[in-house]
Structure 1
Amino acid sequence: MSKVGVYKSDITPPLGTDFIGYHRPCGIRNIDERIYSTAFVFEHHHDKSVFISIDNIGMLIEDTSVIRKRIAAKLDVPYEKITVVFTHTHSGPATVSSSERVNEYKTVLIENTVVAAVKAHERMQPSEVGWNVTLGDIGVNRREETAEGRVKMGTNKKGVVDKRIGILAIRHQQDQTLSGAIVFCTAHPNVLKSDSDCLSGDYPGETRRILEPALGCPVIIVQGAAGNVNARYRGSRNALKNMAYALSASVLGMIPAILFQGIFKLQTPSTIMPIKLINIPEPEGIKKMARAAEEQWGVGTSKWLAHMLGKFELDERQISIDLEIQSFQVNEGSFSGIPMEPFSEAALEIQDRLHSPLAFFGGYTNGYLGYLPTKEAYPYGGYEVELNPVVYGPVTSLWMPPAEDTSQKVVHKVLELHNHKEVEKCFETNQSVRDVGKK
């Protein structure tokens, strides 16, 4: 018996709450749209998995862990079978601050998210699910190369973008009406910028405004490997609508061709992989990184600088952290995620190695640390490679960029989580899956 339950819980903060995503001198002054935590509970032969989307740029791993632990206790579902993804809106409320208002809001957000999971569990009904995928142009590669052989934030028309737009739709078995939809796409939700004082789910929220009345059910937008991909349209309300029109048109076009069936596979494997960070440089190198962040992003770096210099003095130049990699798998499709912002190249490699356009990979999953560039991106530097740890390291504890081979190791681990026999064979023979498939 296949069952699915869905519930949407309001997590709109009070006016005055701080923003996160772009610096604004003021807090939230207006509410363009309310924001939500939406929970899906899947059951197959008494095995359950919980999939939750939260309208936020991304909470810390420890705060996300609180949500997962409370849901696990409430529903008697293993912690590792609970997936929490963040839409990554850049016009949402902060959850990390010394502000009493922000901490009070975080408490409400956590409570309402747990409530969403409990109520989704209570509403489980016999259901069928179906996948579909298409291509769309909603994102642009943002790592623009300069004449000096570096990169800056801009538009790289030749750069890689994962253009897939996918959907996992759920319908009631009895009357065949839709009960929920999970949409997968790749483009930073940073359409609205620092000149906006409105709370907004950005284009994922605007897309929901179109899709939910049209489909008659809750819809969530799951972000892919958008670490190097910006929204195609940016900077205005019209741009927000253009993004939403483009994405919703692709989704609505897929609905008629979806083939629904009962759940025959429901797995949520998870693993912890230790990853090394780049060695802390000499003091002059540390200071150079701090100056670059201050000059290019206008941020204070004193806390990061003091911490790094202290590590160097203690001869603790090698730092490693634990990274959770989780794969939510339903029938023939999957979404694998990490608490980082991977580049699109990694997602496309996973799709290629698994021979499946329904194998999605993304970030903002079970917390947030920082960026995960590909090895090929490191020589070009730029914000995602060099500066993000300086800007956010004191908050996320990603003090230095990951070692250059980390992205490839994550890709291999995702492939292992899929238990793909050809992939396992490739690890032994050092062949590509594409080559194996040709034999």
Structure 2
Amino acid sequence: MAGTSEVFAGFAEIDITPSDFRKCELIGFNRLDSFARGILHPLKAQVLILKASNQTYCLVTVDTLSFSTALTDQLRDSIAEQLHGRRKDIMVCFSHTHAAPDAAANNAAYFMFAKQKIIAAVDLASQTTFPIKAAWGIAENTIGINRRSDADATDPRIGILKISNAATDETQLLLLRVTAHANVLSSDNYLISSDYFGPTRALLEETYHCKVMMTQGASGDVISKYRQENADFLEKHPLEAAKIVHDEAAKKLIFNESIEALNKNAAAIKSAVAAVYDEIEPTAIHKLSMHSGTLTFKADVPTLERAQTIAAEAAFAGIDGSDWLEEVKSLNTKGIQTQTSQREAQFLAVNNGCLCGIADEAMCETAIDIKERAQDDFIFFGGYTNGYEGYLPTAAAYDKGGYEVLWSNLIYYKYYHRVMPFNRDTADHLAKQIVQIWQRILTS
């Protein structure tokens, strides 16, 4: 609890675009060759420091698909050391752009580069604090559409936290939470980019003369409305995507479509924000806190026969599951029937609303479920928080299978440290636990 005179904020941003992009492999698509071939938009890391009495909290947003939870915890520990604080008071949210370097594998040097840059931004933000007021608002999410052919659910909310200088009432920062995959640039793209996040921030900053941060919602099954015409086809056919690199006419046409799509998404978000901007009136901050809880998720290991069926289905999407099959076979041989993971759920609470999330790529139905169970529109749940550990399907999605539920594991199981999605009832249990934690926060 804190009055407005006791709450201060500091902000800084820094460029984390790799200096030698040619050594960086991009992550997010099943490409035959993932090495970057240029830079379309710079990548940013942004830091918001919030101070109340003797407590300091830090929100970091990063333009990348994500770091693993292990790497993200390294980053959080370094930030905590810089601020003389605790890991659980540091929240890192990733945009999930599919046009950024893979921070693992051959790009370990990129993680160290980005980490050093982010620490520098933390230092700068902590030196530039000012007294603040804040308020939440909700705009209409008009860019998110469900990418699964048999579903139409989306999270209709853009969460907006408007932060103003308590001394001058001037808006200093807009923090947006938007639910739509940052893969407007599709698998034929080899240029480093912040995807639609970058153009959106730039447009809003020009409009409102303040800094803009963005976080990603539960967008595991939500893509942006505006994309190049053949994006879905190319994602399912990596050989066709690879051919475009050598076809100058096709490459130019698709590039122009992609740029137009990025700008349309940015314009749509701007219009949505404009519709509610003046109604959001910052007030004194009476609640400011971060909370962290530990959840346990389980994934059952398939039989080898079931695994062979999954691999055969994935092969039609151009996915080679041979290595994954060997891993499943090894687990079966060792008698391992279940793989268990610990997950951190983290909350940043400001007055009557919060950002909260987990490292997994949750689906929008989970965020909607949480909102409805809590009977609270101002609980903004998202994925890609403090790392990335793969898709977390709802029970309905689990039953239908497909890329998000099954086939993606054949590619990324080495990162997830499990070979299957979490069990069918996981999203339901997650929603219940998130709501319970949030209700405790509200009454504390």
TM-score higher than 0.5: yes
Question: Which residue type is aligned with residue 116 of structure 2?
Answer: E
Q: Distance in 1 between matches of 2:34 and 2:409?
A: 25
Name the structure 2 match of 1:186.
179
Q: Does 1:308 align with 2:328?
A: yes
Partner SS for 1:169: strand
The 10-residue stretch of structure 1 (366-375 or 353-362) with the greater mean CA deviation from structure 2:
353-362
Q: Does 1:333 align with 2:333?
A: no
Q: What is the 5 A alignment of 1:10-409?
A: 10-13=15-18, 14-16=20-22, 17-22=24-29, 23=31, 25=33, 27-97=35-105, 99=106, 102-145=107-150, 156=151, 159-235=152-228, 236-277=258-299, 279-296=300-317, 298-409=318-429
Q: Is the 8 A contact 2:339 2:418 kept in 1?
A: no
TM-score, length basis structure 2? 0.88
The 10-residue stretch of structure 1 (362-371 or 194-203) with the greater mean CA deviation from structure 2:
194-203
Q: Distance in 1 between matches of 2:440 and 2:77?
A: 30
Partner SS for 1:41: strand
Distance change (3 Å), C-alpha of 1:206 and 1:321: same
Q: Is the 8 A contact 1:49 1:266 kept in 2?
A: no
Q: Distance in 1 between matches of 2:295 and 2:416?
A: 17
Q: Is the 8 A contact 2:11 2:47 kept in 1?
A: yes
Q: Distance in 1 between matches of 2:442 and 2:359?
A: 27
Cα distance, 1:161 vs structure 2: 0.4
Cα distance, 1:136 vs structure 2: 2.7
Partner SS for 1:268: strand
Aligned length: 406
Distance change (3 Å), C-alpha of 1:301 and 1:46: same
Partner SS for 1:411: helix
Q: Is the 8 A contact 1:44 1:263 kept in 2?
A: no
The 10-residue stretch of structure 1 (59-68 or 414-423) with the greater mean CA deviation from structure 2:
414-423
Deviation digits for residues 374-405 of structure 1 (CA, Å, limit 9, x no counterpart): 11222211111111222211122132110111
Question: Which residue type is aligned with residue 18 of structure 1?
Answer: E
Q: Distance in 2 between matches of 1:121 and 1:414?
A: 30
Distance change (3 Å), C-alpha of 1:358 and 1:367: same
Cα distance, 1:138 vs structure 2: 0.5
* Runs of 4+ in structure 1 over 6 Å off: none
Question: Which residue type is aligned with residue 289 of structure 1?
Answer: I
Question: Which residue type is aligned with residue 94 of structure 2?
Answer: F
Partner SS for 2:369: helix
Question: Which residue type is aligned with residue 141 of structure 1?
Answer: N
Q: Is the 8 A contact 2:64 2:94 kept in 1?
A: yes
The 10-residue stretch of structure 1 (78-87 or 29-38) with the greater mean CA deviation from structure 2:
29-38
- Stretches of structure 1 that go unaligned for 5 or more consecutive residues are 146-155, 424-439
Cα distance, 1:367 vs structure 2: 0.4
Name the structure 1 match of 2:14.
9
Q: Distance in 2 between matches of 1:256 and 1:334?
A: 21
Partner SS for 2:149: strand
Q: Is the 8 A contact 1:182 1:220 kept in 2?
A: yes
Partner SS for 2:21: coil
Alignment RMSD, CA only?
A: 1.7
Q: Is the 8 A contact 2:27 2:34 kept in 1?
A: no
Q: Distance in 2 between matches of 1:71 and 1:421?
A: 24
- Stretches of structure 2 that go unaligned for 5 or more consecutive residues are 1-5, 229-257
Partner SS for 2:338: coil
Cα distance, 1:38 vs structure 2: 0.2
Q: Is the 8 A contact 1:289 1:390 kept in 2?
A: no
Distance change (3 Å), C-alpha of 1:83 and 1:6: same
TM-score, length basis structure 1? 0.89
Cα distance, 1:139 vs structure 2: 1.0
Partner SS for 2:296: strand
Question: Which residue type is aligned with residue 2 of structure 1?
Answer: V
Partner SS for 2:391: strand
Q: Is the 8 A contact 1:276 1:403 kept in 2?
A: yes
Q: Distance in 1 between matches of 2:26 and 2:175?
A: 26
Q: Distance in 1 between matches of 2:32 and 2:90?
A: 33
Deviation digits for residues 81-139 of structure 1 (CA, Å, limit 9, x no counterpart): 11000001111121122x2xx22221110111122222211111111112110213111
Partner SS for 1:143: coil
Aligned residues with identical type, % of pairs: 30
Partner SS for 2:214: strand
Deviation digits for residues 266-308 of structure 1 (CA, Å, limit 9, x no counterpart): 121111111111x222212122222333331x23333322221
Q: Is the 8 A contact 1:191 1:203 kept in 2?
A: yes
Cα distance, 1:348 vs structure 2: 1.1
Cα distance, 1:26 vs structure 2: 5.2
